[in-house]
Amino acid sequence: MKSFKTFLKHTAKDYHNQSVNPPVVRASTIIFKSMQDIRKMQDKAKKNPTGGHFDYGRQGTSTTHILSQILKTMEECYHVFLTPTGFGSVFLAIFSVVRPGDEIIVADPTYSPTRILTQNFLKEFDIKTTFYNPHDLNTLERNITKKTKLIFVENPGSNSFEFQDLGKIISIAKKKKVYTAIDNTWGTPYFLKPIPLGFDMSIVSATKYYSGHSDVMGGSLAVNKKVFKDVDKANKVTGLRLGPDDAYLITRGLRTLDVRLDKHEKNSKEVAEFLSKYKNIQLLYPHKKDSFNFRMWKKYYSGASGLMGLKIKSKNKNSVIKFVNSLKLFGYGYSWGGFESLALYQDKREQGNRQYLKLEKDEHLVRLHIGLEDPRDLIDDLKKSLKLIK
């Protein structure tokens, strides 16, 4: 294909059924004409474990295999595993390579459930987690020991949106012979391709921009050849399976991924330009060109999505919450990546027990997802509500 955009429009057409989209194949039992045919299929699966050869429905159907192949091309990787949720892909990545007695190092501004999994849950299995400062990679390198198995990156940071020097992280990991995984949900492979960059594993919550319509959940884990066997083994024993109906909706959503992300970026830049004029707001988005975050974004990404943060200075917490509650065009709810705009006041529960995030007593975090509405309407809505901050 000539371009990513053209690929998304023309991939996975079903000429057998004369349909521009692949069919939804639902199956728990995969039927064969004879025992010999079952064995032939199993032999094919051993020779080509990424080829979509199934003998049981837990392994998937043609519908999930097609989605996996589309994402494989997008990610430019060896294989893509599909999970029922984005967090399922986080779990699968970590579970595949980490064992009792190992240590992992995680970006401090990681997604709160990822933090709970690594810091609390894994501790019960004698797996130690250390967090590093995304803007001081000495805190990463000096904590690597002979027991370190994995560096887990989320870029940009969840809620506080720190952009990191990804190339330097990969260089450190390769020198120390440590696996790397990145949560790339914010950028998706449309804006950043982590596997060609040097990461071993790349996670995307398909619930977000892949689907794009806030009506499906799913996750993808792209891997290189080095970790494929480990992840394949873990995937088989955990039984993490994306259903065919969800796979179909995600495939359909991918057709317009480029169109939607281009519009999210355009709208976000207009909103960011408006918000940057407020002295009591620090914009957490790659907007200020002389900032470290902007330079790291520009170095690795081809574009920016619609999720941003606001660090608001106010001695009156209730007025900041009132600002959020008074927005008319922004919904209130978790997740993001759909066509609609969303807003959340980020209290400690959303931030997690952060080690390196330093908020002053009168500083507050608000997260905005800029949707596909007319940006002028969004700006008017924000302008009216910002007057409530005292």
pLDDT tens-place string over residues 62-82: 999 999 999 999 999 999 999
The pTM of this model reads 0.95
Same domain membership, residue 196 and residue 291: no
pLDDT, tens digit, 9 for 90 and up, residues 171-224: 999 999 999 999 999 999 999 999 999 999 999 999 999 999 999 999 999 999
In angstroms, rounded to a whole number, what is the distance separating the alpha carbons of residues 52 and 105? Answer: 34
Whether 191 and 212 share a structural domain: yes
Span 327-371, pLDDT tens digits: 999 999 989 999 999 999 998 777 778 889 888 889 999 999 999
Query: Are the C-beta atoms of residues 203 and 220 closer than 8 Å to each other?
Result: yes
Range of the domain at 96: 4-254
Query: For position 237, what pLDDT does the model report?
Result: 94
DSSP string, 343-388: EEEE-HHHH-S-SS----TTEEEEEEE--SS-HHHHHHHHHHHHTT
Bond from prior residue into 286 cis (ω within 30 degrees of 0): no
Is the domain of 264 the same as that of 225? no
- Are residues 17 and 154 located together in one domain of the fold? yes
Residues 280 and 235 in one domain: no
On the question of pLDDT at 97 being above 60, the answer is: yes
Q: Is residue 221 located within the same domain as residue 327?
A: no
Residue that has been written with the tokens 């501004």 in this structure: 109
CB 268 within 8 A of CB 305: yes
What CA–CA distance (Å, rounded) separates 213 from 219? 15
Task: Characterise 324 by phi-psi region: left (phi > 0), alpha (psi -120 to 50), beta (else).
Answer: alpha
Q: Check residue 50 and give left, alpha or beta (phi > 0: left; psi -120 to 50: alpha).
A: alpha
221 and 280 in one domain?
A: no
Percent of the chain predicted with pLDDT > 70: 100
Q: Same domain, yes or no, for 318 and 378?
A: yes
For residue 309, pLDDT beyond 90: yes
**Do 69 and 190 sit in the same domain of this protein?**
yes
- Give me the pLDDT at residue 1, please: 56
What CATH number should be reported for the domain holding residue 203?
A: 3.40.640.10
Domain boundary among 223, 238, 254: 254
